[in-house]
Chain A
Amino acid sequence: MKRFAALITQLEETTKTLQKTKAIAAYLQSVPDQDRLWCVTLFSGRRPKRVITSRQMREWASAASGWPLWLLEDSYAVVGDLGETIALVLPSPETEIEKSLSEWINDLRALASLDVEKKRNFILASWNSLGGPERFVFNKLITSGFRVGVSQKLMARAVAQVAKKTETEIAHRLMGNWHPDETTWYDLIEAEDLRVDLSRPYPFFLSSALESSPQSLGAPSDWGAEWKWDGIRGQVIIRGGSCFTWSRGEELVTQKFPEFEKFPDFLPDGTVLDGEILVWQDEHPLPFNKLQTRIGRKSVSKSILENAPVILYAYDLLEWRGEDIREQPYQERRKLLEDILSSTSPSLPLRLSPSIAFSDWISLAKTRSKARKNYAEGLILKKMNSLYEVGRKKGPWWKWKLDPFNIDAVMIYAQAGHGRRANLYTDFTFAVWQGSELVPLTKAYSGLTDAEFREISGWVRRNTLQRFGPVRQVTPEHVFEIAFEGIHESQRHKSGVALRFPRMARWRHDKKPHEANTIGDLKDLLKTYG
């Protein structure tokens, strides 16, 4: 595992993607197929089945290091990564064992059938035989996937170099439901026939935020426009008489949306649709919080199906009659999609997300300003001749969102971050006025620069009024502009409203707490847009 640990170290020792790609490719070249396969498995967020609980790891690490459990836990809270914490607190190893990456993984998996005592002995002996970076990697094999700053794109590029194939093809091959136990390096990467896995999705093509005015995009006639919906981006695959639904996070979510099960009765095998999953009522989408009731559940109850029925609002077609059509221009894929959907029954939870006709950018800007009335959060602009590419690539697709809502709120609680932000206060609670009282409104974590986070952290330490565990109540002194995408009613929140995607837009040094917004201001927003 020395080589794999060295790869992890190398990846962490550069911020340059070119060097990262080189390092991964060099590793893949130098190890046997089984190790290659596991490397790709781990870097794509898949992981071996867990055989040791986090609790066991902590207790055994406490025993092995001699530090009390609470001290280990408190250290973990700061470091933010259990594998790293344990690697750091253990004494130096007394022996050395060298096994390959796949040997270690197989040994760990073999523990599943052993009793706790045997598991414990194995883990303690392993810790005592692995040096710094290897020990860390070993712990990560037990606990969770690797996050080593390697994007799927970067990995696909490295694998493509080694396999001498295109990056697009590799990205597609790495999608879907494969597992190292059921495939080989050859089948996954090199074999000619790709369609073994019926559920395999295509990599999503993502739009970038349009920061400048659309005039910069050139002739309006080169562009198509659609509403930008606030749902879950989904890819629905109909193959082999079955239907598979993938979320943008590459999670197979078929069971969460049983409404789509009937698609194979109406659409031919070899159909892949890209669209937005939305809760639907009276022929229009409902706000995202309605959809939230369905996320995080494996299966969906009858009452949820009745209260929050979903549709797929389709906007692209990636495969038709078994043929990958991603290389056809957008306008042709779109036309085909329109033809297909024009003949499907309205009882099917499948609709065509409409195109928006426009002749010039100014009239389109007017349309965009009506997005909220149309239950959308802005527009998506797609170049007429754009191919369906992989990942986020600037140029062919833009999202042109409405400007966010803004309110000014007072910081009242602060909590320390962990991991990347181990020594900073980064999680804040903000309040608005209700009469002479400050009512908690929302939490926010992002939006400040590192320098601002450092500055506010110093201030929090000096201005703590009270502590509630990890949370510090601070003097209500600082006003922040909170930007958010939507607002809706909420029983769970003291303020009675919940915000969508709240973040800190600006630190309002120029404002005093009494100048912050009131609950009344938010209720007004709720009335208009909720």
Chain B
Amino acid sequence: MNRDAVLNFSPSGIYCPAGDFYIDPWRPVERALITHGHADHARKGHKYYLSTDIAAPVLKHRLGHITLETLRYSEIRQIGSARVSFHPAGHVPGSAQIRIKVGGEAWVISGDYKLEDDGLSTAFDPVSCHSFVTECTFGLPVFRWQSQAQVFQEINKWWANNAANGIVSVVGAYGLGKAQRLLCGLDLSIGKVLTHGAIEGTNRVMRAQGIVLPETEQITPETDRKGNGSTLILAPPSALQSTWERRFGDTSNAFASGWMGLRGVRRRRSVDRGFVISDHADWDGLNAAISATGAENIYVTHGYTDVFSKWLSSKGYHSEVVPSRFTGTSVDDEEVE
């Protein structure tokens, strides 16, 4: 950390002394700025929350009664001697990078992000800064995504093929973001989309705030299990291969995640299909985003931090790894959203 450090890395999370607040802290604090609603970023127990207006409904849905204020993208808020603004991260609806300027020094915390416009989230917007704290979940050159359109084509082909054979298609996807993104890319002329309650809950929240999603039907104990061979079911990953899936009879299952790019992980999941689609930046995306900030200091968190930081150093950046004990990680890293 240099003498103009705007942020420091403390046991409770990333801290800004000038504004006395934390970003995505993982221990309860007085004041928390939240990049987005995923469980490894938005935790319970803080006295005060600040997020984007678009992220707010899901935050309330997930965290219950919280004291929450919101900002629109790019709107500036003075907190202590820090000037704070939220900028689109393209990760999930309402997700933000947070820019903090103290004196002449500008820092950006990326949160989770991806560069491809998914048509659902506000598209990623590069923000210039001196220091950039970036995630690097997929920070290895083996991770390079195909375009969303190509992946949707594959998924729809698989679904149509199952439907033609009277086999129910079950897709495991995270409930916030990935599920809705898939939903928007599905070809509903093939059949109906049914949803697991955990996913429909988020759908409901998003529809209520004006985000347009294709029609879905929540699965209830009364849902007709027979004669639904052409349906596709969206479910949380944990529901795959469970008794919950088995009651739909003859199914083919798939998991949609960036991790599906590795054969080993695909085998471990032992699903029929792994669709490589991620809400995180791939290798090229990370490098492009970092370059676009114009930052000299890059702090890397979440992912293959050692390798990625070494790579950045070799490219001439001043790069450091933020120790994960200062940022927390999700209990379940494969489920990082």
Contact = CB atoms under 8 A, between A and B. Distances in A.
Interface of A: 12-16, 65, 67-68, 70-72, 74-75, 78-81, 84-85, 88-89, 149, 418-424, 450-451, 454-455, 457-459, 461-464
17 contacts: A71-B311, A79-B262, A80-B264, A81-B263, A85-B142, A420-B264, A421-B264, A423-B265, A423-B333, A424-B333, A454-B331, A454-B332, A458-B329, A461-B333, A462-B325, A464-B324, A464-B325
A89 B307 CA distance: 15
Contacts of B143: 88
Contacts of B335: 454
Nearest to B146: A132
Contacts of A85: 142
A420 B144 CA distance: 19
A422 B325 contact: no
Given A71-B141, A78-B140, A464-B325, A454 B333 contact: yes
B117 to A, nearest CB: 22
B304 interface: yes
A81 B264 contact: yes
Nearest to A417: B264
Contact of B141 (A14, A75, A80): A75
B220 interface: no
A48 B333 CA distance: 39
B270 interface: yes
B18 interface: no
Given A12-B266, A81-B264, A420-B265, A75 B272 contact: no
B329 A78 contact: no
Given A13-B273, A462-B325, A464-B325, A74 B263 contact: no
Contacts of B272: 13-16
A419 to B, nearest CB: 4
Closest 9 CB pairs of A and B: A419-B264, A88-B142, A420-B264, A454-B332, A420-B268, A74-B307, A461-B324, A458-B331, A89-B141
A12 B265 CA distance: 12
Contacts, number: 92
Given A68-B314, A419-B264, A454-B334, A461 B329 contact: yes
Contact of A418 (B264, B273, B325): B264
B334 A463 contact: no
B57 interface: no
B88 interface: no
Given A74-B310, A423-B334, A458-B332, 10 more contacts: A12-B267, A15-B270, A72-B141, A81-B264, A88-B144, A149-B267, A450-B268, A462-B324, A463-B325, A464-B325
A276 B143 CA distance: 47
B271 interface: yes
Contact of B331 (A80, A419, A424, A455): A455
> Taking chain A's interface residues, is the majority helix, strand, or loop, or is none over half, making it mixed?
helix
Contact of A15 (B271, B310, B330): B271
A419 B262 CA distance: 8
Interface string B231-270: 0000000000000000000000000000101111111101
Nearest to A86: B142
A88 B264 CA distance: 13
A126 B288 CA distance: 29
Interface in B88-146: 140-144
Contacts of A464: 324-325
A74 B141 CA distance: 10
A88 B331 CA distance: 28
A82 to B, nearest CB: 11
Given A12-B266, A420-B267, A462 B329 contact: yes
A241 to B, nearest CB: 46
Contact of B333 (A75, A79, A149, A458): A458
B285 interface: no
Given A454-B332, A461-B324, A462-B329, A12 B263 contact: yes
Given A420-B267, A423-B334, A79 B142 contact: yes
A420 to B, nearest CB: 4
Interface string B308-337: 001100100000000011001111111100
Interface of B: 140-144, 259, 261-268, 270-273, 304, 307, 310-311, 314, 324-325, 328-335
Nearest to B324: A461
A74 B140 CA distance: 8
Contact of A421 (B140, B144, B268, B328): B268
A65 B267 CA distance: 27
A511 B104 CA distance: 52
B143 to A, nearest CB: 8
Nearest to A65: B141
A422 B265 contact: yes
A72 B140 CA distance: 9
Contacts of A68: 314
A383 to B, nearest CB: 32
A304 to B, nearest CB: 38
Contacts of B310: 70, 74
Contacts of B266: 12
Nearest to B270: A15
B279 to A, nearest CB: 16
Contacts of A421: 264, 268
A422 B140 CA distance: 12
Nearest to B266: A12
A79 B267 CA distance: 12
Contacts of B267: 12, 149, 420
Contacts of B270: 15
Contacts of A74: 140, 304, 307, 310
A418 B264 CA distance: 8
B325 A88 contact: no
B310 to A, nearest CB: 8
Contacts of B262: 78-79, 84, 422
Nearest to A461: B324
A12 B334 CA distance: 20
A451 B143 CA distance: 24
A78 B307 CA distance: 11
A516 B311 CA distance: 42
A464 B267 CA distance: 28
Contacts of A79: 142, 262, 264
A366 B7 CA distance: 69
Contacts of B304: 74, 78
Contacts of A70: 310
B140 A457 contact: no
Nearest to A74: B307
B263 A84 contact: yes
A75 B332 contact: no
Contacts of B265: 420, 422-423
Given A13-B273, A68-B314, A455 B264 contact: no
B167 to A, nearest CB: 11
B105 to A, nearest CB: 29
Contacts of B144: 88
A455 B329 CA distance: 11
A72 B311 CA distance: 11
B6 to A, nearest CB: 25
